[in-house]
Amino acid sequence: MQIPIALQIYSLRRIFEENPLRALRIARKAGYTGVEFYGTHFHPEFYAALLRETGLVCAGWHTPIEALEDDFENTLHRNLVVGSRFICVPWFKAESLAEWKKFAARLNAVAERLAPYGILTGYHNHAHEFQMLEGRLPWDVVAENTLPQVILQLDTGNAMSAGADVSAVLEKYPARAGTVHFKPYSRVAKFASPIGMDDIPWGKLLDYCERRGRTEWIVVEYEEEQNPEDVVAASLRALHRLRPRG
């Protein structure tokens, strides 16, 4: 069974914030199965209505760690209303490995608090997690100090922009890639290119996720704001062409 592909709705952020229904309809028309939300722009029941109207599924929600710690009940309610099973923290930065270890402990505490509700938490990287700090990569420190059920939501474009071998990163922590961000990155065009016209080895990543990664959602994200409708549609078409057969 092929892994469903969602769109991180941040890819259409200007449209989403002005006309959320139009943004989800664009995702549906392009062929996406689901969307991953970000922010808290609207009432939770409105998000659920958007999903019902478009036939899309919620593939997760990017949520700051502070909301999970300090506003747990509202954050939980928001995700239960839309049927989200994955809450990934989209950003953290620290100046020492000790601080990264403390952050990992915070993720563990959130994971244990969410477990009774069947919801998983995780962490989504930017570039700095793949830059050496005190002789280690913060990504490895988070991975090694979190519970096995904490998702390592690799953002391929962000990682590659820091020089990481994204295929090797996925392989290093088997069964931790519950959801993966497929963000294109080109050494020439940087983030301004669709999947299939960049430098990420998509065939290898798809093979890993489909066959060995225990990945439940592939989430496409486009970083730039130029022609987002065209790029997210072209990216999905490219992924369908590149998917392993059989």
Length of the chain: 246
Rounded CA-CA distance 124/180 in Å is 9
Residue 194 sits at φ, ψ, to 5 deg, of -80, 165
- The predicted-structure confidence for 19-74, as pLDDT tens digits, reads as follows 999 999 999 999 999 999 999 999 999 999 999 999 999 999 999 999 999 999 99
Q: What angle do CA 165, 167, 169 make, to 5 degrees?
A: 70
Going by pLDDT thresholds of 50, 70 and 90, the confidence category of residue 243 is confident
DSSP bridge partners of 86: 120
- The predicted-structure confidence for 2-24, as pLDDT tens digits, reads as follows 899 999 999 999 999 999 999 99
Q: What is the pTM of this model?
A: 0.97
For the chain, the maximum distance between any two Cα atoms, rounded to a whole number of angstroms, is 50
Rounded CA-CA distance 32/235 in Å is 11
